[in-house]
Amino acid sequence: MKPRTAFLPAALCLALLAAPGARADDAVVVPKLVPLPAHMVRKPGGFTVTADTPVRAADGPALRHVGAQFKAMLGERLPLMLDLAKDGSRGNNIEFALDATRKWSAPDAYSIDIDERGVRVYAGDAKGLYYGAVTLAQLLTSGDAGGASVRLPALHIDDAPRFGWRGFMLDSARHFQSVDEIKRLLDAMAQLKLDVFHWHLTDDQGWRFPVPGWPKLTTVGSCRLPAGDGGIDAATGKPAPYCGFYTEAQIREVVAYAAERHIDVVPEVDIPGHATAAIAAYPQLGVSGEPVAVSNEWGVNVNLFNADETTMRFLEDVLTQVAKLFPGKFVHIGGDEAVKDQWKASPKMQARIRELGVDGEEGLQAWMVARLERALAAHGKRLLGWDEILMGELPPSATVMSWRGIEGGIDAAKKGHDVVMAPSDVLYLDYLQTHSPDEPPGRPATIELHQVYGFEPVPKALDAQQAKHILGVQANVWTEHMRNFARVQHAYFPRIAALAEVAWSPKAERDYAGFLQRLPAMLPRWKAQGLAVATTPFQPQIDAGTPLADGSAEVAVQQPLGYALRYTTDGSAPTAASPLYFASLALPLPATLTVQTFFDDRPLGAPATRTFSAASLLTRSDEELAMCTDQLMLRLEDDGPRLGDRAIFNVDIFNPCWTWKRAPLAGIGAIEVRAGRIPYFFQLAHDEPHRTFKPAKTAHGELELHAGCDGPLLATLPMPEKPNADGFVTLRAPLHDAPADADLCLWFTGDTRPAMWVLDRVTLQPK
């Protein structure tokens, strides 16, 4: 390949580096960088980094600090003993330097030059120099670990981010994470050049930081009793509260740790809704003044702060504490899902509306927002809120985070407000990320990797001037269903890498196929950081199989990211020489199918194995069934035990009904159903009327089976009062005159509150 010295698009440069016609003397590590740099050009030659290569960063403490951070980034994965040289001659080294003579486009910008003389990383600011170190660390870990040296290609990189706000939100109110766990997330953010950590610290289910003068916020507001058996200590049989809050010292520790990695921490205190924990601590803050408990239910709670003067002074005390603990520019005041029913029904709040002369309940929230904006401005802070704050008159300096789609962001930008794009339909990472039955509990719908990668933060509806108000983009994780840190990590990784590229790389350079070629290099980097990355995007998904007329089974396999699949049918592990999977397979029964994802002829993730028999083809788990309607499907777990594994169920909480599409009912004499029972722990506010259920005919409801959801009744059985000791009940219903091939619909009658039956498994039994 003829060497090029002109700038190339970064994606094309990567393709050229990987091309089979590359020069033999350039046996270099192919750069697998995430996010993709803005500009990168390949030059002839390269440089070999060895254990003797010094790191030169001697001109001041800031440079030496970056040099030390660079060494830490390499960790133990790269066996290079790089020493920070206090001085040394130029050449044959890795050099970090600040260049004040050049006009840099942003504090994040940097340049890297690699040639036969060594590696030079330049920037105009410590932040840019740090990001240069991140890129260089990725260059050095783009290939296989284990060698004594790494041959880098000769490159010139000029890089700067597309957006200044590259955000990542963690909800610590619903479930609590330790300081060490948060630090691991901050490390991962820094590795991807994300620079805003939005920390959700208060909600209906918990208040997570102290405020002087208001001690019950943490002694009362930080604890709840989980619903059902999830709040019972098995050893004592007594309720075991779920508690947690961060001390001032711990918050400062997190803020300092983030700052070391050039990450701003944006705290969120939700006002006026999502306020139950605070009202439980101090009932006078609520509308009724009556005691309430910290909520142990998910969804939209109707409790609001009142707008009394004493409550406003409380909120100003809270924001004063926030301003003291968090030195960043922005403070998030929530503002979302503030159902106004209590304000509408309260004579006191109606009198307050008249006293202030505002326009109804939305005007009252707008008045609160404006007052809190002034309080924050007095501390040198800017107010940020969810897009519901646009429903009233908004102070000009307020910034809007658009979560209910992009429309709020468009409206805000056209009105002159700065905007952070965080739409729930593509950037809420607590949504399931694949259709695998191995996905942990999560919120409705599925947001796959390609959806995150394909999001465009600047809407076409904005003109060039309005588009300047788009500060950036952010992914959010709400932790209702994440009672351990492994689930938090599962939600973020690998989708957070797609977000990083959306936030950093030029729009014209983004290419999903190229991203998938670079993504596998992130897996060992994350592993070196001790992160538990989701395995489901990389694993093969083998379906349950369909019986064929000749007695064999038709089996299909999917790979969520489209990587190559190889398989065996003899029980052995697939290798690079095993057959490639292209289409569904017809397997004689009994059969064992083992499938492995491959990338660059190497295994990626763990293999998947499934055994098929005539009996297995007649069984489906709830994950393998469809919902009868698509209203609000959740993947929910049982309420116990308090610690350890729990059963997981797919259920539409608005219509708990399951369907087996084209169930093979010919020759079937009975159906066996295994069901569990879980608490109904949801607050739906104005969505409550959408919850439907079939009336019960017996004391505890029935299991009904129909041929088609609107079709004839095939069988019905009364349900018991409660499940067995293991949490399940197994029911067997005989079938008479069932159609040979129909959609089999199953539902449980009766009100779903306070507990609901959920399907676990269906088995068809031949006559």
Tokens representing 252?
């400062």
- In the block, tokens 């219509």 appear at 655
Tokens representing 331?
């403070």
Which one from 337, 393, 407, 637 is the annotated catalytic residue? Answer: 337
- Give me the half-sphere count of Cα atoms (radius 13 Å) on the Cβ side of residue 621: 11
Instruction: Report the candidate in 413, 407, 415, 416 with the shortest Cα–Cα distance to residue 388.
Output: 407
Tokens representing 19?
């091309």
- Which residues in 465-527 belong to E strands, given as ranges? 470-477
Three-class secondary structure of residue 426 per DSSP? helix
- Which residues in 519-640 belong to E strands, given as ranges? 541-542, 546-547, 553-555, 557-558, 564-568, 585-587, 591-599, 602-603, 608-612, 619-621, 626-627, 633-637
Instruction: Report the candidate in 447, 454, 435 with the shortest Cα–Cα distance to residue 536.
Output: 435
Strand 419-421 and strand 242-243: pairing? Answer: unpaired
Q: Spell out the residues 6+ positions from residue 698 whose beta carbon is closer than 8 angstroms to its own.
A: 718, 719
DSSP 392: S
| 337 noted as active-site residue | yes
Strand 264-268 and strand 196-200: pairing? Answer: parallel
Cα separation, 533 vs 411, whole angstroms:
36
Helix, strand, coil: what percent of the chain each, to 5? Answer: 30, 30, 45
Instruction: Report the candidate in 103, 95, 194, 110 with the shortest Cα–Cα distance to residue 157.
Output: 110
CB count within 10 Å of CB 580 equals 10
Judge if the upstream peptide bond of residue 754 is cis by omega within 30 degrees of 0.
yes
The secondary structure element, H or E, covering residue 762 is: strand 755-766
Cα separation, 445 vs 447, whole angstroms:
7
Cα separation, 616 vs 661, whole angstroms:
16
Tokens representing 334?
């929530």
Strand 382-386 and strand 149-159: pairing? Answer: unpaired
- Which residues in 648-753 belong to E strands, given as ranges? 648-652, 657-664, 668-679, 682-683, 702-707, 713-718, 728-734, 741-748
Judge if the upstream peptide bond of residue 459 is cis by omega within 30 degrees of 0.
no
Instruction: Report the candidate in 585, 579, 544, 546 with the shortest Cα–Cα distance to residue 564.
Output: 579
User: What are the residues facing 384 on neighbouring strands?
Assistant: 332, 399
Q: Spell out the residues 6+ positions from residue 297 whose beta carbon is closer than 8 angstroms to its own.
A: 204, 227, 681, 682, 683
CB 368 within 8 A of CB 319: no
Query: What is the separation of C-alpha 64 from the centre of its chain, rounded to a whole number of angstroms?
Result: 35
Judge if the upstream peptide bond of residue 641 is cis by omega within 30 degrees of 0.
yes
CB 567 within 8 A of CB 596: yes
Residue 60 CB burial class (10 angstroms; 0-12, 13-18, ≥19): exposed
Residue 687 CB burial class (10 angstroms; 0-12, 13-18, ≥19): middle
Cα separation, 640 vs 637, whole angstroms:
8
Which residues participate in catalysis according to the annotation? 337
